[in-house]
Structures are given as C-alpha cells and as structure tokens.
C-alpha cells in the first residue's frame, strides 16, 4: 500500500463492496453480488484484491441454503489504523483508532496561551508522534490523519482560516502535516466533524439527514445528509451559534448582537446567573462557571434551575429555526453544556413541540450524544472513513 493515499479505493466498485462488508459483516460473496447488483465475477475479483491487501478476511462458513456452505467475509479491523486529532481551543486530543472505529490509544497536550501558528502546529505534530509511539505502530501502518479544528476551516486546502479562541489565522494544517508525515490529511471544522462522528459511530442507524450541535465554549453544528457533510458555498454551513435570537441582545464575538452563542455557552449561562444574583442584591457571590451553575441547580437552588430552564428555552427556539430550515430527521446535542441535560433537554423538546410549524416537525427527535467527549475526535477519524468506505458517494 502506498503510504497516506487511498489507492485501495481506486475503483467505485471496490468501495461499494468494502462498505457492504463493513455494514453487513459477516457476508458471503453471493450475498454481496445480490445486494449490490454487481456480477459474481466482479465481486470475486475485487474480494480477491481486498484479501491480498489484508483489508478483509474469510471467517467460518455461513449457513448452507442447500449446497456448499458459503465462506463469509469480514473487515480486518486491525489491518490499518487511523489518527484522529481534536485540535483546540484548550488542548490537543489525539487518538489512534482501528478500522472498526475502536480507540486503541490516546494522548492529550495542553495548549499554552498566547500561541503562534508554529507552536500550535508543533503541538499537533508532537501529539501524533507520541500517540503512535504509545500505540507501538509506525505511520506506515496508518491510512491517514483526520483533524477536527475549531473555528472557520477551508476544507479544500485544510487551512484554519480563523480560530477565534486561539486568536490564530491562516494555519496550514493539512499542508504541514502531509509534509511532516507523508500521509493523507483531512481537516474539518470541529462541530461538523462531530456530526460526522455521530453519523458513523453514534448508533443512530441509517438516517437520511441529521444535525449535530456542539454546545460548549462556542456553539456550532454540522449537517449530515446521506452520510455526507453539507458545507454550503463558503464552508460556513452549520454556524448556528451566530443565528440571531435577540436583535437587541449582547454583542457576540462575531460583532453581531444577540447570537445564540451569547445565550447558550457555559460562560453565557454563568453570566446570566450573575446578573440574576445582582438583581437580588447579592454582590458577594463567588465566581460562577457553567459547571457550577449546574451543580447548584442539582442541589435544588431554584435560581440556577431557572437559569438552565431559560437556556433550554432559548436553545429550543434556535433548534426550531434549524428544523424549519433543514428539516432533519434527528438532532443530536453534545458539548459541555449538555452535562445539564436533565434541566435542558425537557425544555428544549417542549419548546420545539410548542413552536415547530407542523405536527411532524414538532416530533423531530432530539437526543444527547452517547459518544460523550469522544464525539469530535471520532469525527476526525470519520473524515477518513468517508474516503475509505464511502468514496462511491463523493
């Protein structure tokens, strides 16, 4: 195998067959031919290549339908590995995963602020070298590197155009990592990567459309249709954090007023709690964070419960707008803010039910990620899975 390329996927038919094995394993050659409508000789020829390339293996024979028992095929999940990087804003989280999406090793590097483009790239490179060393594998054993990067990303060039929390611009991530490691590198906005990770590894079944929303230090979303990310004309599709909720609201970091992000981040929640304390004449309150607001709400303090319920209502309004524009089958919520799920989710669902345009839209499924903090870094890995298994869709 040529390092860092997807030469294994050089034909559409090979991609079709490989993905059929991945989704239906164990599966026989005859069943592949039947379900893909490829001819048996074509299937046999491509499977022979995949066996030679160690991408699949033959398992115990399947059930006989009257003749000789068929040999079953499965993905060789440890044939190659993938590197996933969740880059910033506070740390670089890097994993090695196998072809089944199982994380086999991880490292975490804290980022110092302020930081330069060079120092930031060095941190990513160091984390990749370290995770490979810990996993006892060589870069030759990988099929590429996926990077989930916060802020605005130019996907075609793999450049971070603007990373607001790190105050970095024009970081050539793809160029630098491919020069360093000589493997294919894919770079994507972190919220969109999270959405792709949900689509591949979140256990949601086959969905025609899904929106995943990351609520943490910022608010972003990714839109997945038929297994592919929707980017929009200028790579800013999914920036729902800058959807206007209140035209007279606080100024957002983007310069506009009343963006969803000014209400729904951890810091925004803490700020509103402080304001409510001040209104009650409590000037000696300790410094609040989104996490401490949640802990105080769990302790039964009605003021903090009200703040979280208000936040749930505002998020619900924003998601109702998303439903009216995108009309997804499912919305998945993640990020640190959703640690307050018990207070937020019921109100979010109720707000959508009360405000969505049609009865079916009111019933749009809204759930919280089961991938937890790994949703984004697995999304980085999923950038490569799309290339390996679903190039037929590209």
Asked whether residue 248 is domain-assigned, the answer is: yes
Tens of pLDDT along 322-350? 999 999 999 999 999 999 999 999 999 99
Same domain, 92 and 47: no
Asked whether residue 376 is domain-assigned, the answer is: no
Per-residue DSSP letter, 95: E
- Reported as a pLDDT band with limits 50, 70 and 90, residue 65 is low
Q: Is the pLDDT of residue 76 over 50?
A: yes
User: What pLDDT score was predicted for residue 4?
Assistant: 42
Q: How many percent of the chain have pLDDT more than 90?
A: 68
Same domain, 263 and 235: yes
Asked whether residue 154 is domain-assigned, the answer is: yes
Same domain, 55 and 99: no
Same domain, 66 and 161: no
CATH code assigned at 41 = 1.10.10.10
**What is the span of the domain harbouring residue 335?**
204-369
Asked whether residue 385 is domain-assigned, the answer is: no
Same domain, 128 and 269: no
Q: Which residue in this structure is represented by tokens 């998020």?
A: 315
Same domain, 155 and 235: no
Question: Which of these three, 163, 196, 229, is where a domain ends?
Answer: 196
- Reported as a pLDDT band with limits 50, 70 and 90, residue 62 is low
User: What pLDDT score was predicted for residue 286?
Assistant: 62
Asked whether residue 319 is domain-assigned, the answer is: yes
Same domain, 209 and 191: no
Distance, in Å, from the CA atom of 240 to the CA atom of 261, rounded to the nearest integer, reads 8
State the average pLDDT over residues 61-78.
Answer: 74
Asked whether residue 244 is domain-assigned, the answer is: yes
Residue 98 structure tokens: 């196998």
Give me the DSSP letters along 305-323. Answer: HHHHHHHHHHHHHHHHHHH
Question: Which of these three, 143, 174, 196, is where a domain ends?
Answer: 196
User: What pLDDT score was predicted for residue 287?
Assistant: 78
Same domain, 223 and 354: yes
Asked whether residue 216 is domain-assigned, the answer is: yes
Same domain, 243 and 356: yes
Residue 28: phi, psi to the nearest 5? -90, 165
CATH code assigned at 163 = 3.30.420.40
Q: Is the pLDDT of residue 266 over 50?
A: yes
As for how many domains the chain has, the answer is 3
Question: Which of these three, 196, 221, 236, is where a domain ends?
Answer: 196
* Least confident segment among 70-74, 241-245, 259-263, 284-288: 284-288
Give me the DSSP letters along 190-259. Answer: HHHHHHHHHHHHS---S-SEEEEEEESSSEEEEEEETTEEE--TTS-TT-GGGSBS-TTSPBPTTS-BSB
Same domain, 89 and 152: yes
Q: Which residue in this structure is represented by tokens 């209400």?
A: 263
Same domain, 67 and 100: no
Task: Return mean pLDDT, the chain.
Answer: 89
Same domain, 209 and 308: yes
Asked whether residue 389 is domain-assigned, the answer is: no
Contact 107, 94 (CB under 8 A): yes
């Amino acid at each position: 195998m040529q390092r860092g390329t997807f030469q294994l996927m050089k034909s559409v038919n090979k991609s079709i067959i490989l993905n059929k094995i991945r989704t239906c394993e164990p599966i026989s050659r005859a069943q592949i031919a039947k379900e893909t409508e490829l001819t048996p000789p074509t299937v046999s020829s491509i499977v022979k290549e995949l066996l030679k390339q160690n991408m699949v293996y033959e398992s115990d024979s399947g059930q006989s339908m009257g003749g000789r028992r068929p040999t079953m095929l499965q993905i060789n999940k440890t044939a190659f590995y993938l590197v996933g990087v969740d880059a910033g804003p506070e740390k670089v989280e890097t994993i090695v995963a196998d072809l089944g999406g199982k994380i086999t090793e991880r490292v975490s590097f804290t980022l110092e602020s302020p930081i330069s483009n060079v120092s930031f790239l060095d941190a990513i490179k160091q984390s990749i070298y370290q995770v490979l060393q810990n996993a006892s594998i060589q870069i030759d054993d990988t099929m590429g590197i996926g990077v989930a990067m916060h802020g605005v990303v130019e996907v075609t060039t793999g450049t971070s155009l603007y990373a607001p929390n790190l105050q970095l611009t024009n970081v050539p991530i793809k160029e630098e990592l491919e020069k360093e490691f000589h493997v294919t590198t894919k770079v994507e906005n972190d919220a969109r990567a999270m959405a792709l990770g949900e689509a591949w590894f979140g256990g949601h079944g086959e969905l025609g459309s899904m929106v995943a929303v990351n609520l943490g230090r910022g608010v972003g979303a990714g839109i997945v249709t038929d297994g592919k990310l929707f980017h929009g004309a200028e790579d800013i599709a999914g920036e729902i954090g800058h959807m206007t909720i209140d035209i007279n609201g606080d100024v957002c970091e983007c310069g506009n007023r009343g963006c969803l992000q000014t209400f729904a981040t951890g810091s925004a929640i803490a700020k509103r709690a402080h304001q409510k304390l001040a209104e009650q004449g409590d000037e000696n309150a300790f410094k609040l964070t989104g996490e401490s607001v949640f802990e105080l709400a769990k302790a039964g303090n009605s003021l903090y419960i009200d703040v979280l319920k208000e936040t749930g209502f505002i998020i619900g309004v924003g998601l109702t707008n998303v439903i009216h524009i995108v009309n997804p089958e499912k919305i998945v919520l993640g990020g640190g803010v959703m640690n307050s799920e018990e207070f937020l989710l019921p109100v979010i669902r109720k707000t959508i039910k009360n405000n969505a345009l049609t009865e079916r839209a009111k019933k749009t499924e809204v759930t919280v990620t089961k991938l937890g903090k790994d949703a984004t870094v697995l999304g980085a890995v999923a950038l490569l899975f799309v290339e390996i298994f679903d190039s037929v869709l590209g």
